[in-house]
Amino acid sequence: MLVVLALATVACGAAATATPAPAPDPIEAPAAMADSTEAPAAMAEPTAVPEAIAKPAEEMMAKPEVGEMAFADYWNPPTDFYGPVVYGGTLRVNYEDPLEHANDWGAATGASSRYRGSTGAVLVMENPYDAGAPVIPDLAQNWDVHEGLDGVTFHFREGTAWHNGEPFVCEDARFSFETMITGNGLTASYMKSRLAHVVLEEMACIDDMTLKMNFNGPTGIPLLNISNRRGIVFNKAWFQAGGEDAMFQDVTMGIGPYKWAEGQSVGVDEQHFEKNPDYFIPELPYVDELVIFGILDESAQQATQLAHQTDWHWVRNWGQYQAYVDHDQIITVIRATRGNFRLWINARNEPFDNVKVRQAIIMSIDRDAGIRILQDGHGASGGFGYAPGSPWELPQEQLCSVPGWCISEDMEATRAEAKAILDAEGFDFERRYVFTVESDAQVTARATFLQEQFRLLGIETDFDSVETIAYREQEQSGTWGDFKPGNSTVVADDPNAGVAAFLRCDSTGNHWTPNGPCDDSIVAVLDQAQVALDVDKRQVLAHQIELAAMKQYSSFPVYWEQEAAAFWPEVRGYAHFPAPFGSYRKFMHMWIDPDRMNDTGNAGQTTGVPGGS
């Protein structure tokens, strides 16, 4: 029997774009992390930082408030769009890889997170409905960020039990984090580098319900890495008995919203998970059963979804997209991810050391044409470090205040303007310039588009095609030519957790080092943001950094990649996460409303679903 519950407190006023209820707990940055991590970029001349921003770091540090968070305060499904929450039913997820193994700790894959995301729990988690919202409780009911921002103490929920009924105690969490930090017993600890700031020797259980972590310095984002979906707490005795084999093969010992259905083995491409009736968040999950299908063949994925043998599909390639968009019943949501295609201009090389020259080149690139030609129309234009649609995105007005960054209404006119700038700067149009390109068909295709754009401006380039290893070396040493294209991903919406990889002088993703020039004024603002706990303050600083980086015209996202999800109309509650492949993997935020199963009129990509654009 399906019980329809209109959760009044939850449903009330939960608009698609609703900002989270003011959280009594420490405010945290959005946390979606990309699967792949790359990012580089560039800075040239120092940028002036307004006085108001360049305050001493201490002023940015505020003692966080401590408090409880009630479920209804942090869990706000977009019921304005989807209608009231419904309990019961089965959600069938169409996943694109074989479900080979479940070792999310030591050999992380997309498949391993399909096993562990729904059956496990982290200390604090992302808000699945709003990537810009503060993190919300998971195993920890609440937490105190230490004065000085150099640690955090987690308070666990009373009465939390493992799937076999054993009580959860702090030592399970402490030992899990110790194992992630040391990597002892793991093939390759996914979390190790992400927990480098945690002082292992000082991590301690104050009692069975309280875990203290100290950091090796203050940070305004004390919970960001810890909320990583792979920071999953495991049962100590289980790991001690079964070792990493248990992590690969045994999904019985979980603590999360779903239990692995009995009689299954890992490696089968259809996995069943049942609602955990003793889940420590009693209001969740919504559905009784979650089934994940691992379907490698991309036409089989689509056929299965179109035949309604699965309910939800993360669109794997743009060839699949149109069939979903055209479908009268299937809802298709699209939005920008944090992955982008960038052009770098080497400001170490004359005449590109002249910012006006760089500006003219950036201005002249027809980004709409790039999206049309290279992405089949599925791309988005935006600023330097935050994906379009991100809550951290620079407001349009500010974006357009820097010439060339907002889309031109008249590319011909803009190009003429750019040409005039180059003429005024005495640009040498007779010379041929070096375009360093990784020898990869896709990269070359993308670079060819840019080469054409340069040609429209009268600039001729020659490709210097370089094998991957040598290419990476040139990137690191700054010895690449005048231009270079490349993929990059900003892993988080945060100045330090994300954009800093492009900008900090000591970052390996900053391709300006080791030969400089380094922008110390931007680094100074990054340092301010590093200890700004308040998310609003950090966002002000983030926008400052964004504008300064844009004005350099050295690293330019030609377009931001997009991703889409397609689901049958009875699937409700889904919201997009702004990270490549970053849909929320616990699958407990979605519900099935059988009354909506025959809904029609869903052709076209949606604009109303949270995160849709």
Q: Give the residues lining the site for ligand NAG (CB under 6 A).
A: 193-194, 196-197, 219, 221, 224-225, 339, 440, 442-443, 487, 497, 561, 594-595, 597-598
CB of 466 to ligand NAG, least distance (A): 12
**Sign of the dihedral defined by the CA atoms of residues 414, 416, 420, 426, in that order:** positive
Contact of 293 with 304, CB cutoff 8 Å: yes
Pick 17 or 36: Cβ nearer ligand NAG: 36
Cβ-based burial of 425 (10 A; exposed 0-12, middle 13-18, buried ≥19): middle
Torsional class of 386: left (φ above 0), alpha (ψ -120 to 50), beta (otherwise): beta
Q: Count the neighbouring beta carbons within 10 Å of the beta carbon of residue 507.
A: 18
CB of 496 to ligand NAG, least distance (A): 7
CB of 45 to ligand NAG, least distance (A): 27
Pick 276 or 381: Cβ nearer ligand NAG: 381
Tokens coding 178? 């110790």
CB of 195 to ligand NAG, least distance (A): 7
Distance of CA 157 to the CA centre of its chain: 28
Instruction: For residues 456 and 415, give the distance between their C-alpha atoms in angstroms, rounded to a whole number.
Output: 8
Pick 44 or 565: Cβ nearer ligand NAG: 565
CB of 225 to ligand NAG, least distance (A): 4
Q: How far is CA 307 from CA 37, 272, 327, 545, in A?
A: 35, 20, 12, 48
CB of 321 to ligand NAG, least distance (A): 14
Q: Count the neighbouring beta carbons within 10 Å of the beta carbon of residue 356.
A: 15
Pick 443 or 566: Cβ nearer ligand NAG: 443
Pick 226 or 575: Cβ nearer ligand NAG: 226
Pick 340 or 554: Cβ nearer ligand NAG: 340
Instruction: For residues 164 and 234, give the distance between their C-alpha atoms in angstroms, rounded to a whole number.
Output: 13
- Going by C-alpha positions, the residue among 376, 143, 166, 367 that lies closest to residue 252 is 166
CB of 514 to ligand NAG, least distance (A): 19
3-state secondary structure of 511: coil
Q: Which residues pair with 201 in a beta bridge?
A: none
Pick 95 or 258: Cβ nearer ligand NAG: 95
3-state secondary structure of 460: strand
CB of 573 to ligand NAG, least distance (A): 18
CB of 31 to ligand NAG, least distance (A): 10
Pick 491 or 549: Cβ nearer ligand NAG: 491
Residue 517, preceding peptide bond in cis (omega within 30° of 0): yes
Contact of 275 with 587, CB cutoff 8 Å: no
Pick 64 or 404: Cβ nearer ligand NAG: 64
